[in-house]
Structure 1
Amino acid sequence: MMSDVIPVVTVDGPGGSGKGTITQMLARRLGWHLLDSGALYRLTALAASRQGVALNDEQGLVAVARSLDVAFRPTPAGEPVRVILAGEDVTAEIRTEQCGDGASQVAVIQSVRDALLQRQRDFRQAPGLVADGRDMGTVVFPDAPVKVFLTASAEERAQRRHLQLKESGVDVNIAHLLDEIRARDERDINREAAPLKPADDAQVIDSTGLSIEEVLSKVMALVSQA
Protein backbone atom coordinates (compact mmCIF):
# COMPACT_ATOMS: atom_id res chain seq x y z
CA MET A 1 0.00 0.00 0.00
CA MET A 2 1.31 3.46 -0.92
CA SER A 3 2.08 5.55 2.16
CA ASP A 4 0.14 8.54 0.87
CA VAL A 5 -3.15 6.57 0.93
CA ILE A 6 -2.65 5.27 4.48
CA PRO A 7 -4.92 7.38 6.72
CA VAL A 8 -3.42 9.66 9.36
CA VAL A 9 -5.03 11.52 12.24
CA THR A 10 -2.83 14.37 13.49
CA VAL A 11 -3.23 15.83 16.96
CA ASP A 12 -1.18 18.97 17.53
CA GLY A 13 -1.12 21.40 20.41
CA PRO A 14 0.88 22.76 23.32
CA GLY A 15 2.32 20.60 26.10
CA GLY A 16 -0.20 19.56 28.74
CA SER A 17 -3.23 19.86 26.48
CA GLY A 18 -3.88 16.11 26.71
CA LYS A 19 -2.46 15.11 23.32
CA GLY A 20 -0.52 12.13 24.65
CA THR A 21 -3.45 10.56 26.46
CA ILE A 22 -5.90 11.21 23.64
CA THR A 23 -3.63 9.88 20.88
CA GLN A 24 -2.85 6.70 22.82
CA MET A 25 -6.55 6.05 23.46
CA LEU A 26 -7.42 6.85 19.85
CA ALA A 27 -4.70 4.56 18.46
CA ARG A 28 -5.93 1.71 20.64
CA ARG A 29 -9.56 2.34 19.66
CA LEU A 30 -8.74 2.34 15.94
CA GLY A 31 -6.05 -0.35 16.08
CA TRP A 32 -3.59 2.02 14.38
CA HIS A 33 0.07 2.84 14.90
CA LEU A 34 1.10 5.72 17.17
CA LEU A 35 3.76 8.39 16.68
CA ASP A 36 4.77 10.48 19.68
CA SER A 37 6.85 13.02 17.78
CA GLY A 38 7.60 15.02 20.90
CA ALA A 39 9.39 11.98 22.29
CA LEU A 40 11.83 12.14 19.36
CA TYR A 41 12.84 15.68 20.32
CA ARG A 42 13.02 14.75 24.00
CA LEU A 43 15.15 11.74 23.06
CA THR A 44 17.44 13.94 20.97
CA ALA A 45 17.93 16.27 23.94
CA LEU A 46 18.51 13.33 26.30
CA ALA A 47 20.93 11.56 23.97
CA ALA A 48 22.81 14.82 23.38
CA SER A 49 23.17 15.33 27.12
CA ARG A 50 24.46 11.79 27.59
CA GLN A 51 26.95 12.23 24.76
CA GLY A 52 28.18 15.59 25.98
CA VAL A 53 26.68 17.52 23.05
CA ALA A 54 25.57 21.05 23.94
CA LEU A 55 22.03 22.08 23.04
CA ASN A 56 23.43 24.96 20.94
CA ASP A 57 25.78 22.68 18.99
CA GLU A 58 23.80 22.44 15.75
CA GLN A 59 26.04 19.98 13.90
CA GLY A 60 26.37 17.78 16.98
CA LEU A 61 22.60 17.73 17.51
CA VAL A 62 21.96 16.80 13.87
CA ALA A 63 24.34 13.87 14.21
CA VAL A 64 22.55 12.76 17.39
CA ALA A 65 19.13 13.04 15.72
CA ARG A 66 20.21 11.01 12.71
CA SER A 67 21.65 8.20 14.83
CA LEU A 68 18.88 7.80 17.41
CA ASP A 69 18.28 4.14 18.23
CA VAL A 70 14.64 4.43 19.32
CA ALA A 71 11.62 2.17 19.61
CA PHE A 72 8.07 2.60 20.96
CA ARG A 73 6.63 -0.43 22.72
CA PRO A 74 2.84 -0.73 23.16
CA THR A 75 1.44 -1.28 26.64
CA PRO A 76 -1.89 -2.30 28.18
CA ALA A 77 -4.65 0.30 28.18
CA GLY A 78 -4.08 3.06 30.71
CA GLU A 79 -0.30 2.76 30.71
CA PRO A 80 2.06 5.08 28.78
CA VAL A 81 3.78 3.73 25.69
CA ARG A 82 7.29 2.62 26.62
CA VAL A 83 10.06 4.60 24.95
CA ILE A 84 13.30 2.70 24.38
CA LEU A 85 16.62 4.45 23.65
CA ALA A 86 19.52 2.19 22.69
CA GLY A 87 17.85 -0.71 24.45
CA GLU A 88 17.11 1.24 27.67
CA ASP A 89 13.63 2.16 28.86
CA VAL A 90 13.74 5.95 29.26
CA THR A 91 9.98 6.54 29.40
CA ALA A 92 10.11 8.27 32.79
CA GLU A 93 13.33 10.16 32.15
CA ILE A 94 12.15 11.88 28.97
CA ARG A 95 9.00 13.14 30.75
CA THR A 96 10.89 15.33 33.21
CA GLU A 97 10.54 19.10 32.96
CA GLN A 98 14.28 19.38 32.31
CA CYS A 99 14.06 17.05 29.31
CA GLY A 100 10.96 18.84 28.04
CA ASP A 101 12.74 22.17 28.20
CA GLY A 102 15.70 20.66 26.34
CA ALA A 103 13.38 19.31 23.67
CA SER A 104 11.85 22.75 23.18
CA GLN A 105 15.34 24.24 22.70
CA VAL A 106 16.34 21.52 20.23
CA ALA A 107 13.09 21.85 18.28
CA VAL A 108 13.81 25.44 17.22
CA ILE A 109 16.76 24.29 15.09
CA GLN A 110 15.63 23.70 11.50
CA SER A 111 18.43 21.27 10.61
CA VAL A 112 17.46 19.05 13.57
CA ARG A 113 13.84 19.11 12.46
CA ASP A 114 14.96 18.18 8.93
CA ALA A 115 16.96 15.26 10.33
CA LEU A 116 13.89 13.91 12.14
CA LEU A 117 11.31 14.62 9.42
CA GLN A 118 11.66 11.42 7.38
CA ARG A 119 11.93 9.33 10.53
CA GLN A 120 8.52 10.66 11.53
CA ARG A 121 6.98 10.03 8.12
CA ASP A 122 8.25 6.44 8.19
CA PHE A 123 5.77 5.74 11.01
CA ARG A 124 2.97 6.00 8.43
CA GLN A 125 2.14 2.32 8.01
CA ALA A 126 -1.05 0.34 7.42
CA PRO A 127 -3.73 0.27 8.67
CA GLY A 128 -3.24 3.88 9.80
CA LEU A 129 -1.38 6.30 12.05
CA VAL A 130 -2.28 8.60 14.92
CA ALA A 131 0.41 11.31 15.16
CA ASP A 132 0.93 13.45 18.26
CA GLY A 133 3.02 16.62 18.08
CA ARG A 134 3.21 20.31 17.34
CA ASP A 135 3.61 20.36 13.54
CA MET A 136 2.07 17.03 12.49
CA GLY A 137 -0.75 18.65 10.52
CA THR A 138 1.20 21.63 9.21
CA VAL A 139 4.54 20.07 8.17
CA VAL A 140 4.89 16.32 8.66
CA PHE A 141 1.52 15.08 7.36
CA PRO A 142 -0.11 18.03 5.57
CA ASP A 143 -2.35 15.63 3.62
CA ALA A 144 -3.85 14.00 6.73
CA PRO A 145 -7.64 13.68 6.33
CA VAL A 146 -8.26 14.47 10.01
CA LYS A 147 -6.35 17.21 11.80
CA VAL A 148 -6.99 18.22 15.40
CA PHE A 149 -5.44 21.10 17.34
CA LEU A 150 -5.91 20.36 21.03
CA THR A 151 -5.40 23.17 23.49
CA ALA A 152 -6.21 24.23 27.06
CA SER A 153 -5.50 27.22 29.28
CA ALA A 154 -1.97 27.48 30.63
CA GLU A 155 -3.39 27.39 34.16
CA GLU A 156 -5.19 24.11 33.56
CA ARG A 157 -2.17 22.58 31.87
CA ALA A 158 -0.03 23.54 34.87
CA GLN A 159 -2.58 21.94 37.21
CA ARG A 160 -2.55 18.72 35.16
CA ARG A 161 1.24 18.58 35.09
CA HIS A 162 1.43 19.27 38.82
CA LEU A 163 -0.95 16.37 39.49
CA GLN A 164 1.08 14.03 37.25
CA LEU A 165 4.30 14.90 39.03
CA LYS A 166 2.68 14.63 42.46
CA GLU A 167 1.40 11.15 41.61
CA SER A 168 4.97 10.25 40.62
CA GLY A 169 6.25 11.42 43.99
CA VAL A 170 7.75 14.67 42.68
CA ASP A 171 6.83 17.86 44.53
CA VAL A 172 7.05 20.88 42.21
CA ASN A 173 5.86 24.43 42.80
CA ILE A 174 2.81 25.01 40.59
CA ALA A 175 3.69 28.67 40.01
CA HIS A 176 7.08 27.56 38.71
CA LEU A 177 5.38 25.03 36.42
CA LEU A 178 3.06 27.72 35.06
CA ASP A 179 6.03 29.99 34.30
CA GLU A 180 7.80 27.13 32.46
CA ILE A 181 4.69 26.30 30.43
CA ARG A 182 4.19 29.92 29.40
CA ALA A 183 7.88 30.26 28.44
CA ARG A 184 7.74 27.06 26.40
CA ASP A 185 4.54 28.19 24.66
CA GLU A 186 6.18 31.50 23.79
CA ARG A 187 9.23 29.74 22.35
CA ASP A 188 7.19 27.20 20.38
CA ILE A 189 4.74 29.76 18.96
CA ASN A 190 7.41 32.26 17.89
CA ARG A 191 10.12 29.95 16.56
CA GLU A 192 10.97 30.28 12.87
CA ALA A 193 11.07 26.51 12.29
CA ALA A 194 7.53 25.07 12.14
CA PRO A 195 5.94 27.33 14.77
CA LEU A 196 3.15 25.91 16.91
CA LYS A 197 -0.16 26.79 15.25
CA PRO A 198 -3.27 25.00 13.97
CA ALA A 199 -3.23 23.85 10.35
CA ASP A 200 -5.65 25.86 8.21
CA ASP A 201 -7.95 22.82 7.98
CA ALA A 202 -7.56 21.65 11.59
CA GLN A 203 -10.42 21.37 14.05
CA VAL A 204 -9.55 23.23 17.25
CA ILE A 205 -10.68 21.59 20.50
CA ASP A 206 -10.25 23.41 23.82
CA SER A 207 -9.99 20.73 26.50
CA THR A 208 -10.22 23.18 29.42
CA GLY A 209 -12.83 21.79 31.78
CA LEU A 210 -13.45 18.69 29.65
CA SER A 211 -12.85 15.10 30.70
CA ILE A 212 -10.61 12.82 28.67
CA GLU A 213 -13.70 10.86 27.60
CA GLU A 214 -15.40 14.02 26.35
CA VAL A 215 -12.37 15.03 24.30
CA LEU A 216 -11.98 11.52 22.87
CA SER A 217 -15.64 11.52 21.87
CA LYS A 218 -15.15 14.77 19.95
CA VAL A 219 -12.09 13.41 18.13
CA MET A 220 -13.78 10.09 17.33
CA ALA A 221 -16.70 12.01 15.83
CA LEU A 222 -14.30 13.80 13.48
CA VAL A 223 -12.73 10.48 12.47
CA SER A 224 -16.15 8.97 11.82
CA GLN A 225 -17.17 11.93 9.67
CA ALA A 226 -14.00 11.59 7.61
Structure 2
Amino acid sequence: MSKIIIAIDGYAGCGKSTTAKQVAKALNYAYIDTGAMYRAVTLYFQEQQVPLDNVAAIDAALEQIDIRFEANPAQQRNETFLNGRNVSNEIRSLSVSEQVSEVSALPAVRKAMVAQQQRMGQAKGVVMDGRDIGSNVFPEAELKIFMTADLEARARRRQVELQGQNQSASLNQIVENLQKRDFLDTSRAEAPLTQTADAIVIDTTTLTIAEQTDRVLALATQILAKQQTI
Protein backbone atom coordinates (compact mmCIF):
# COMPACT_ATOMS: atom_id res chain seq x y z
CA MET A 1 0.00 0.00 0.00
CA SER A 2 1.29 3.46 -0.87
CA LYS A 3 2.07 5.91 1.89
CA ILE A 4 1.83 9.68 2.09
CA ILE A 5 3.28 12.60 4.00
CA ILE A 6 0.83 14.45 6.24
CA ALA A 7 1.92 17.99 7.15
CA ILE A 8 0.06 19.69 9.99
CA ASP A 9 0.90 23.37 10.47
CA GLY A 10 -0.71 26.09 12.52
CA TYR A 11 -0.62 28.27 15.57
CA ALA A 12 0.60 27.20 19.01
CA GLY A 13 -2.06 25.65 21.21
CA CYS A 14 -4.34 24.36 18.44
CA GLY A 15 -3.83 20.71 19.30
CA LYS A 16 -1.51 20.00 16.38
CA SER A 17 0.85 17.66 18.19
CA THR A 18 -1.81 15.59 19.95
CA THR A 19 -3.82 15.26 16.75
CA ALA A 20 -0.72 14.36 14.75
CA LYS A 21 0.17 11.63 17.25
CA GLN A 22 -3.30 10.12 17.06
CA VAL A 23 -3.34 10.23 13.27
CA ALA A 24 0.08 8.59 13.08
CA LYS A 25 -1.01 5.86 15.49
CA ALA A 26 -4.20 5.15 13.51
CA LEU A 27 -2.31 4.90 10.20
CA ASN A 28 0.72 3.15 11.72
CA TYR A 29 2.86 6.06 10.50
CA ALA A 30 5.88 7.64 12.15
CA TYR A 31 5.14 10.79 14.12
CA ILE A 32 7.76 13.53 14.10
CA ASP A 33 7.32 16.38 16.57
CA THR A 34 9.28 19.18 14.90
CA GLY A 35 8.22 21.60 17.62
CA ALA A 36 9.95 19.40 20.19
CA MET A 37 13.12 19.54 18.10
CA TYR A 38 13.19 23.35 18.18
CA ARG A 39 12.32 23.32 21.87
CA ALA A 40 15.21 20.96 22.57
CA VAL A 41 17.60 23.28 20.73
CA THR A 42 16.22 26.20 22.74
CA LEU A 43 16.74 24.34 26.01
CA TYR A 44 20.31 23.51 25.05
CA PHE A 45 21.03 27.12 24.10
CA GLN A 46 19.63 28.30 27.43
CA GLU A 47 21.60 25.79 29.47
CA GLN A 48 24.82 26.51 27.60
CA GLN A 49 24.13 30.26 27.51
CA VAL A 50 24.60 30.42 23.76
CA PRO A 51 24.31 34.05 22.57
CA LEU A 52 21.69 34.27 19.84
CA ASP A 53 23.59 37.05 18.06
CA ASN A 54 26.79 35.02 17.72
CA VAL A 55 26.71 32.96 14.52
CA ALA A 56 29.92 31.09 15.31
CA ALA A 57 28.68 30.11 18.78
CA ILE A 58 25.35 28.95 17.33
CA ASP A 59 27.05 26.82 14.68
CA ALA A 60 29.36 25.28 17.29
CA ALA A 61 26.44 24.52 19.60
CA LEU A 62 24.41 22.88 16.84
CA GLU A 63 27.26 20.47 16.18
CA GLN A 64 26.96 19.27 19.79
CA ILE A 65 23.22 18.62 19.67
CA ASP A 66 21.74 15.16 19.14
CA ILE A 67 17.95 14.92 19.20
CA ARG A 68 16.03 11.67 18.99
CA PHE A 69 12.61 10.32 19.87
CA GLU A 70 11.69 7.13 21.70
CA ALA A 71 8.25 5.63 22.14
CA ASN A 72 6.97 5.29 25.69
CA PRO A 73 4.15 2.70 25.49
CA ALA A 74 3.38 3.00 29.21
CA GLN A 75 2.48 6.68 28.88
CA GLN A 76 1.40 6.40 25.24
CA ARG A 77 3.67 9.17 24.05
CA ASN A 78 6.99 9.82 22.39
CA GLU A 79 9.82 10.99 24.61
CA THR A 80 12.27 13.63 23.42
CA PHE A 81 15.93 13.00 24.18
CA LEU A 82 18.58 15.73 24.03
CA ASN A 83 22.08 14.28 23.98
CA GLY A 84 20.81 11.13 25.67
CA ARG A 85 18.75 12.93 28.33
CA ASN A 86 14.96 12.79 28.49
CA VAL A 87 13.82 16.40 28.28
CA SER A 88 10.17 15.79 27.37
CA ASN A 89 8.85 17.84 30.29
CA GLU A 90 11.62 20.45 30.43
CA ILE A 91 11.09 21.58 26.86
CA ARG A 92 7.45 22.41 27.64
CA SER A 93 8.35 24.94 30.35
CA LEU A 94 7.21 28.54 29.97
CA SER A 95 10.83 29.75 29.81
CA VAL A 96 11.45 27.57 26.75
CA SER A 97 8.10 28.58 25.25
CA GLU A 98 9.04 32.24 25.57
CA GLN A 99 12.23 31.82 23.54
CA VAL A 100 11.57 28.98 21.12
CA SER A 101 10.14 31.22 18.37
CA GLU A 102 13.23 33.42 18.53
CA VAL A 103 15.58 30.44 18.38
CA SER A 104 13.66 28.68 15.62
CA ALA A 105 13.85 31.83 13.49
CA LEU A 106 17.65 31.62 13.35
CA PRO A 107 18.70 30.55 9.83
CA ALA A 108 21.36 28.11 11.05
CA VAL A 109 18.92 26.42 13.42
CA ARG A 110 16.22 26.06 10.78
CA LYS A 111 18.69 24.73 8.21
CA ALA A 112 19.95 22.08 10.63
CA MET A 113 16.49 20.98 11.79
CA VAL A 114 14.87 21.02 8.34
CA ALA A 115 17.67 18.81 6.99
CA GLN A 116 16.97 16.28 9.77
CA GLN A 117 13.21 16.44 9.18
CA GLN A 118 13.55 15.87 5.45
CA ARG A 119 15.76 12.84 6.04
CA MET A 120 13.16 11.43 8.45
CA GLY A 121 10.41 11.77 5.86
CA GLN A 122 12.20 10.42 2.79
CA ALA A 123 10.37 7.09 2.90
CA LYS A 124 6.99 8.78 3.48
CA GLY A 125 4.51 7.27 5.92
CA VAL A 126 5.06 10.16 8.34
CA VAL A 127 2.96 12.75 10.12
CA MET A 128 4.80 15.97 10.93
CA ASP A 129 3.48 19.00 12.75
CA GLY A 130 5.05 22.40 13.03
CA ARG A 131 5.03 25.86 11.46
CA ASP A 132 6.53 25.36 8.00
CA ILE A 133 6.09 21.69 7.19
CA GLY A 134 3.75 22.15 4.24
CA SER A 135 5.36 25.35 3.00
CA ASN A 136 9.05 24.60 3.46
CA VAL A 137 9.97 21.15 4.75
CA PHE A 138 7.62 19.10 2.56
CA PRO A 139 5.97 21.37 0.00
CA GLU A 140 5.14 18.19 -1.96
CA ALA A 141 3.19 16.64 0.96
CA GLU A 142 0.06 14.87 -0.24
CA LEU A 143 -2.03 16.20 2.65
CA LYS A 144 -1.53 19.63 4.20
CA ILE A 145 -3.54 20.77 7.21
CA PHE A 146 -3.51 24.27 8.69
CA MET A 147 -4.91 24.51 12.21
CA THR A 148 -6.18 27.63 13.91
CA ALA A 149 -8.25 28.44 17.01
CA ASP A 150 -9.32 31.36 19.16
CA LEU A 151 -6.56 32.77 21.35
CA GLU A 152 -8.40 32.14 24.63
CA ALA A 153 -9.13 28.52 23.73
CA ARG A 154 -5.48 27.97 22.86
CA ALA A 155 -4.34 29.57 26.13
CA ARG A 156 -6.62 27.37 28.21
CA ARG A 157 -5.34 24.25 26.46
CA ARG A 158 -1.76 25.25 27.10
CA GLN A 159 -2.53 25.94 30.77
CA VAL A 160 -3.98 22.43 31.16
CA GLU A 161 -0.89 20.99 29.47
CA LEU A 162 1.41 22.83 31.89
CA GLN A 163 -0.63 21.75 34.89
CA GLY A 164 -0.33 18.16 33.75
CA GLN A 165 3.45 18.60 33.91
CA ASN A 166 3.31 20.15 37.41
CA GLN A 167 4.10 23.59 36.01
CA SER A 168 2.05 26.68 36.69
CA ALA A 169 1.41 29.88 34.76
CA SER A 170 -1.44 32.37 34.82
CA LEU A 171 -3.79 32.59 31.88
CA ASN A 172 -2.57 36.13 31.21
CA GLN A 173 1.04 34.93 31.06
CA ILE A 174 0.11 32.25 28.57
CA VAL A 175 -1.95 34.64 26.43
CA GLU A 176 0.98 37.06 26.29
CA ASN A 177 3.33 34.23 25.38
CA LEU A 178 1.05 33.00 22.59
CA GLN A 179 0.62 36.51 21.18
CA LYS A 180 4.39 36.96 21.15
CA ARG A 181 4.90 33.57 19.48
CA ASP A 182 2.22 34.28 16.88
CA PHE A 183 3.94 37.51 15.92
CA LEU A 184 7.40 35.98 15.75
CA ASP A 185 6.21 32.86 13.92
CA THR A 186 4.34 34.78 11.23
CA SER A 187 6.78 37.67 10.75
CA ARG A 188 10.16 35.96 10.78
CA ALA A 189 12.19 36.15 7.58
CA GLU A 190 13.17 32.47 7.63
CA ALA A 191 10.25 30.14 6.70
CA PRO A 192 7.44 31.96 8.53
CA LEU A 193 4.20 30.33 9.59
CA THR A 194 1.93 30.62 6.56
CA GLN A 195 -1.12 28.91 5.16
CA THR A 196 -0.37 27.44 1.76
CA ALA A 197 -2.96 27.63 -0.99
CA ASP A 198 -3.44 23.85 -1.00
CA ALA A 199 -3.76 23.48 2.78
CA ILE A 200 -7.07 22.50 4.34
CA VAL A 201 -7.99 24.76 7.26
CA ILE A 202 -9.37 23.23 10.44
CA ASP A 203 -10.59 25.60 13.18
CA THR A 204 -10.18 23.65 16.41
CA THR A 205 -11.77 26.19 18.78
CA THR A 206 -14.77 23.98 19.54
CA LEU A 207 -13.38 20.62 18.45
CA THR A 208 -12.20 17.80 20.65
CA ILE A 209 -8.96 16.01 19.83
CA ALA A 210 -10.99 13.02 18.69
CA GLU A 211 -12.95 15.21 16.27
CA GLN A 212 -9.77 16.81 14.95
CA THR A 213 -8.20 13.41 14.48
CA ASP A 214 -11.26 12.04 12.69
CA ARG A 215 -11.24 14.95 10.23
CA VAL A 216 -7.61 14.48 9.33
CA LEU A 217 -7.99 10.70 9.04
CA ALA A 218 -10.98 11.10 6.74
CA LEU A 219 -8.97 13.38 4.45
CA ALA A 220 -5.98 11.02 4.50
CA THR A 221 -8.21 8.03 3.72
CA GLN A 222 -9.64 9.84 0.69
CA ILE A 223 -6.18 10.56 -0.67
CA LEU A 224 -4.96 7.00 -0.09
CA ALA A 225 -8.07 5.60 -1.77
CA LYS A 226 -7.49 7.78 -4.85
CA GLN A 227 -3.86 6.67 -5.06
CA GLN A 228 -4.90 3.02 -5.07
CA THR A 229 -7.12 3.59 -8.11
CA ILE A 230 -4.38 5.24 -10.16
Instruction: Show the 5 A alignment for 1:21-170.
Output: 21-76=18-73, 79-126=76-123, 128-170=125-167
From 211, 217, 225, the counterpart of 2:222? 225
Structure 1 residues 162 and 58, CA, compared in 2 at 3 Å: closer, same or farther?
same
In structure 1, runs of 5+ residues without a counterpart are: none
Q: Distance in 1 between matches of 2:218 and 2:74?
A: 21
Q: Over residues 42-67 of structure 1, what are the superposed CA-to-partner deviations in whole Å (9 max), with x where a residue is unaligned?
A: 11111122223123323322332344
Percent of aligned pairs sharing the same letter: 35
2:227 corresponds to: none
The answer on 1:215 being equivalent to 2:212 is: yes
**Partner amino acid, structure 2, of 1:79:** Q
Q: Distance in 1 between matches of 2:120 and 2:3?
A: 11
Q: Is the 8 A contact 1:32 1:126 kept in 2?
A: no
SS at match of 1:48: helix
Structure 1 residues 6 and 67, CA, compared in 2 at 3 Å: closer, same or farther?
farther
TM-aligned CA deviation for residue 72 of structure 1: 0.3
Q: Distance in 2 between matches of 1:121 and 1:65?
A: 17
Q: Is the 8 A contact 2:92 2:162 kept in 1?
A: no
Q: Distance in 2 between matches of 1:117 and 1:159?
A: 30
Aligned pair count?
222
Structure 1 residues 130 and 123, CA, compared in 2 at 3 Å: closer, same or farther?
same
4+ residue runs over 6 A deviation: none
In structure 2, runs of 5+ residues without a counterpart are: 224-230
Structure 1 residues 77 and 11, CA, compared in 2 at 3 Å: closer, same or farther?
farther
Structure 1 residues 125 and 29, CA, compared in 2 at 3 Å: closer, same or farther?
farther
Q: Distance in 1 between matches of 2:3 and 2:59?
A: 29
SS at match of 1:137: helix
Q: Which moved more, 1:200-209 or 1:60-69?
A: 60-69
Q: Over residues 15-40 of structure 1, what are the superposed CA-to-partner deviations in whole Å (9 max), with x where a residue is unaligned?
A: 11101101111111111111111111
From 196, 216, 229, the counterpart of 1:199? 196
For normalisation by structure 2, the TM-score amounts to: 0.90
Q: Is the 8 A contact 2:5 2:142 kept in 1?
A: yes
Q: Over residues 168-207 of structure 1, what are the superposed CA-to-partner deviations in whole Å (9 max), with x where a residue is unaligned?
A: 3323110111111111101111111111111221001000
